[in-house]
Structure 1
């Protein structure tokens, strides 16, 4: 029988009540007394030298309080990068400054040149339009390969080139990998593009800066996934505000998908301007601004080679990737194509030799950083596409080729420096075969063909690394922060509990799942437990929420703090029951002396902690509150197998997802309903990348996909009802909850499944096609099938990938 509370129960999300009734409180809902508004004047060229800025007329316009330009930030720090990568030659990456407002040059369309602060949004916008900006347009570099040419214009004049770093991993493997590929019985080579994406969370970014001159304290209200990190980066490295004088609040946040992890210039500006003007300053992004200022995702061009022996065992893997950094280094950008990508290139397979080379490139485009999955989707896409291509070349079953090469013994140390603690890849594949009805596909294909349609089947397996850790390891890898998490568990006198967590919820359901864990541990109702997050003045130092770390790291910190609370409460209960605390058991909200009927209720013990009339004072102080910091010993390794069936219209190239099944191993599952919802959301984003979404620039650096007219977001009718299963559970061995993380899985596993299915459908009609780049739009599919002499037909890798913007034409829904 399904559980109705605690771990394993599908408890309804308590936060949904305020969201669906419009009672949520978002950053844009915050309006302060005497508040001013800011509008940024942004560059309309990708690369240019600022010759002059004439703000005189604009400053005289009604409502204008002050106009800021780059010169106002002389002496102010640069927006910092949180991760430093070392190139394979031993040199650290090139790290250019990122000013709050452009100084001297603009480096991408949307780069902020000036900021008008006024008494209303309209006044600020009108005045910004009156600023006369004389910008000498310079040649820009958009394509990564062109950016690395010796004569390419430099994005940053003070750097030696547009190469940020040249990373090799594992460098000691390089010669052995080269030799294994030379000696292989078969080598499959594939060149592919992981298309650039725009996160598009439901809530655009907002920043509200406030300043109290009487205490010299600043407050920033912002749409952030990790307010403590924003406080650290902005306070210490940009504005020089001591942490005890800087409060960062991230209230309800309407989605992030990675794009709200980072410290943005607008946050620093509003905090700085509020201190200068001694009045609150607010900025709310428009959707158009979001397209050209929110960090973009993906944007890799890769050549991958897979070597196999005569028995089709994987023997070596080699990849060469160009990764776009954009114009500046965003907070975690350098780590995404390296440590979050290279370390996952083993996938689910026991390939003995792997070498990964990544060249990160500066271009005159919006900065690129982590987007849902961050590095793991890129690794999975490369690996699972080259395996499918190898199966085509060898004439073998792609399912069985994968199964033959699975890792089957754990723990397993990969050749790319990580160790999988648990897993059962055959179990998830077996479950997938049952869910997706592999055996019935031929009959379904014949039904489609009878309608004049082509039907394709694609599958893939994935593994990801979540809960990035431990801190001492990531420090050696270049992280400039620890990646622990913290929690304070405060038990009130009447037995209710407040949990203060450094994690941040922006759709994950912390307010529901965290109480389920404590309810299981203590035995009190979940509604007696409150979760407080998102305010640096209330919560202990934490690293926020991203990388599927909430339960594995944040939940484990809470668990450890609760253990301390319970241990102290047992001592109090033992005193009340005149027994040894070693004999006290806690179950269903009561402390019992083992083997007896002597017990005392949870509430009686907690009251005794705060009203210590009968209390072991000689042993402990009153109260019942504990804090714990949890630094994981390893990543967690969720894994799974996905299957997709598509129908393809040969007359138009339109692709329709007919069936999609996902079998995942997330370790222990706290709330199955929330997990299913997280997988559904990830699948929607991954399928969106595969079929529809593409951020495209022209050769001059103009963003062609700068609105929803040109950037095709997936809609409900683009998907079937997903089949989702997470019954194959191999618990994580190194966190107390045995959880692995689920938030990014769908976005990691779905793109290769879709592309594999589309290629399978085209090949079923006799087309000798073994690759097509994402998004597999109707134009690309039609051109490939009809042999059109266009970039779409051959699907040649392109750093910009601008031949399609995910158009819904040629048969797609309008």
Structure 2
């Protein structure tokens, strides 16, 4: 990007203010719960209050006679309805496909987690539906709950799914051919650092809980689902083809404004299928709005890994091998992308920023009586980064080395670089991001700040780490071989109006990323017109081309590239029209600042004149060019993109209470070309906030009976404004991606990936500086845990 990008007032590199914020900040957004269909009824789901039990009977006789009740559905009433499908199939290290249990829309013979839906009460008002639910009598034979992942794999352990051979979903090894060599390298190493750690389970908690409204048009036979989704086309495909048997051309899915997702709104949920089914069954719209309590026990959750990692080094402190063994919690059912998260989105990133020649990753995925676990901001990459950056920091302390110097020594420095875990980094400069971090974090002044903290009776620590992530999961032919049951391309249709304005219909979906601002910046720059002449349409399968939605920091890299390709087609056709108008050859036409000109002359015609000619073809070569200006492009990436960076955190620890305060946080990221630096700053800020939340306070906890102990904000701590510092962020180190037309890499998840190990490294540093023999504390680093660690 040009050095003066921050001075640009429009186009690529400009810090354009988000146009969508006008409606969000003035209360005029259109969220799913704002939508009401004439004559709609309301649904309330009666959910299991036990984690594991045999469902012997559901007595609705009293409830169905209560005021306002339209109908009560149980599993017996869902004839012809399939189970919720999984979008990824994993083959284990023995060549066997994973165990894939059924996931019914409403519980059948058993309930398998607290919150599992048993009955759906449809009534005239939400209150009447809730009242009727309380009158339903359940007979559930409670069974032992399976909570601990390792115990779940013991011989004789209670099975979550009776029809499976065990609670093991799969035992995945990668790269299996490396296994013996890795074992030998660890035996032969001059030094081996071993660390056992937990990546704590998280609840996504987007600002807007989930909502679903099903509607049915009796005259046309069309079904419509309004839902809080990150990918409406995928929901239409999964629900139509695999659950309800509705042809896609008879099913419309609409995701309007969505108040955050963080991954939890990627998936197809039972509530969406039920509302769509019930609308047809009752011939009236059916609406469900989740409460926050329901969200805690029904939305897919994140992380939940238990890992042992070993790092081998030679006598010169070069990394020689990494070996990990991870237990990954799947929950009671397989969510849409769940099998891919601890495998292909985790194991392939275990090389990190480093040129370790041998790596072996083992993952045992386990069914338990808990809510399903799937992608949460970062999705597999935070887990990999946390393991790797914590064990490197521990190794540096064991060897008495500077943690930064040890990392620098082992950085990948030549690109492209093929890692031993099957991915190829196309570009990067990890030394440059580390240099920038040292500058913006003022690491030279740390000793003085530590001394000042000591005078105040506090322990100050510094944590540094690096990260790399893979964004824009691709290409489709590769992920298909890895088990994906969908393509991972994206699409755009660009429609130019007669007066020169453009409507861009994209398969991506914005739920906080600023697409309506950044996408127009790209097209405006390509054509040379004002950004306000470009309108972005998304979130409605009825008027957008088939796309895979937004997650995995893929929007600009994949959907944006499709948009560029479609716009290139528009420009190519427009040049032919301009050439005809100016009686010149196509090859001689140039487009700049919204003007078509003949190269080497002062003859020109404006963008608006060409677009008008396309729709009013009075002077037009109809025999050569069709009227109109509308093009569609699909883009399937050749590779992932690989954002990378270096983060530093400074903490103060109160030695009397164990309370940790984040004093400074700095992030130097390489996102390739940056379209809108202000939006990028915001994405990084948000990610860091979530990472700090995981490191210090967030923790989803089940007891031994499967009861969710952290089922509300009273018990699940979220970071508040005064828990977070002002951040120093920089993204001036830019190595553009080589395989997409924008050179972009993705920024939405970086902060959540890079921040947890930085925080934990800082706390360990603070305690060791005070002579405490503390090498690790599991997240979240609550005051109680830190205090206990200080006491030995």
Equivalence for 2:700:
695
The residue matched to 2:172 in structure 1 has which SS? strand
Stretches (4+) displaced over 4 A: none
Distance 2:788 2:365 in 1: 31
Q: Does 1:162 align with 2:167?
A: yes
Give the one of 272, 279, 286 matched to 1:281: 286
Structure 1 residue 769 corresponds to structure 2 residue 774: yes
2 CA distance for matches of 1:51 and 1:480?
Answer: 35
Query: How many angstroms does 1:83 deviate by?
Result: 0.2
**Shift in Å, 1:489:** 0.3
User: Once the two structures are superposed, what CA deviation does each residue of 1:441-467 show, in whole Å capped at 9, x if it has no partner?
Assistant: 111000000000000000100000000
Specify every segment of 5 or more residues in structure 2 that has no aligned partner in the other structure, as ranges.
none
Match of 1:591 in 2: 596
The equivalent of 1:792 in structure 2 is none
Q: Does 1:297 align with 2:302?
A: yes
Contact persistence 2:462–2:761 (CA under 8 A): yes
TM-score, normalised with respect to structure 2: 0.99
Q: Find out whether 1:212 has 2:217 as its counterpart.
A: yes
Check conservation: 2:80, 2:244, Cα contact below 8 A.
no
Q: 1:183 offset after TM fit, Å?
A: 0.3
CA distance in 2, matches of 1:76, 1:536: 22
Instruction: State the alpha-carbon separation in 2 of the partners of residues 443 and 612 from structure 1.
Output: 73
Task: For residue 709 of structure 1, report the CA deviation from its aligned partner.
Answer: 0.4
Q: Is the contact between residue 428 and residue 735 of structure 2 (CA under 8 Å) also seen in structure 1?
A: yes
Displacement of 1:617 after TM fit? 1.4
In structure 2, the residue matched to 1:200 is: 205
How many angstroms apart in 2 are the aligned matches of 1:613 and 1:521?
27
Distance 2:690 2:599 in 1: 51
Q: Secondary structure at the match of 2:83?
A: coil
- Equivalent position to 1:347, from 352, 358, 364: 352
State the secondary structure of the residue aligned to 1:574. helix
Shift of residue 616, structure 1, vs aligned partner: 1.8
Residue 119 (structure 1) aligned to one of 118, 124, 127? 124
CA distance in 1, matches of 2:51, 2:364: 22
Displacement of 1:76: 1.4
Counterpart position of 2:30: 25
Q: Partner of 2:516 in structure 1?
A: 511
Paired residues for 1:176-255 under 5 Å: 176-255=181-260
Q: Could you give the per-residue CA deviations for residues 668-709 of structure 1, whole angstroms, max 9, x where no partner exists?
A: 000000000000000000000000100000000000000000
Structure 1 distance, partners of 2:500, 2:39, is 42
After superposition, residues 390-429 of structure 1 pair within 5 angstroms as 390-429=395-434
> 1: CA distance between counterparts of 2:79 and 2:157?
29
Q: Matched residue of 2:62: which SS?
A: helix
Q: Does residue 463 in structure 1 map to residue 468 in structure 2?
A: yes
Q: Does residue 318 of structure 2 align to residue 313 of structure 1?
A: yes
Cα distance, 1:493 vs. partner?
A: 0.3
Alignment of 1:334-483 (within 5 A): 334-483=339-488
Structure 2 residue 146 is matched with structure 1 residue 172 = no
* CA-CA distance at 1:620 after TM superposition: 1.4
User: Equivalences for 1:645-724 in 2 at 5 Å?
Assistant: 645-724=650-729
Distance in 2 between residues matched to 1:219 and 1:543, nearest whole Å = 19
Structure 1 distance, partners of 2:620, 2:306, is 66
Partner residue of 1:81 out of 79, 86, 90: 86
Q: Is 1:128–2:126 an aligned residue pair?
A: no
1:267 to 269, 272, 277: 272
- C-alpha separation between the residues in 2 aligned to 1:193 and 1:616? 68
How many angstroms does 1:615 deviate by?
1.1
Cα distance between partner residues in 2 of 1:170 and 1:316 = 12
Which residue does the alignment assign to 2:537?
A: 532
How far apart, CA to CA, are the structure 1 residues paired with 2:394 and 2:80? Answer: 54
Does residue 1:644 correspond to 2:646, yes or no?
no
For the residues of structure 2 that align with 1:588 and 1:4, how far apart are their CA atoms?
Answer: 14
TM-score, scaled relative to structure 1: 0.96
Q: Distance in 1 between matches of 2:715 and 2:257?
A: 29
Q: Post-superposition shift, 1:73?
A: 2.0
Match of 2:196, SS state, is strand
Q: Secondary structure at the match of 1:758?
A: helix
Q: Is the 8 A contact 2:493 2:633 kept in 1?
A: yes
Q: Deviations over 1:779-804 (max 9, x none)?
A: 000000012xxxxxxxxxxxxxxxxx
Could you say what the CA RMSD is over the residues aligned between the two structures, in angstroms? 0.5
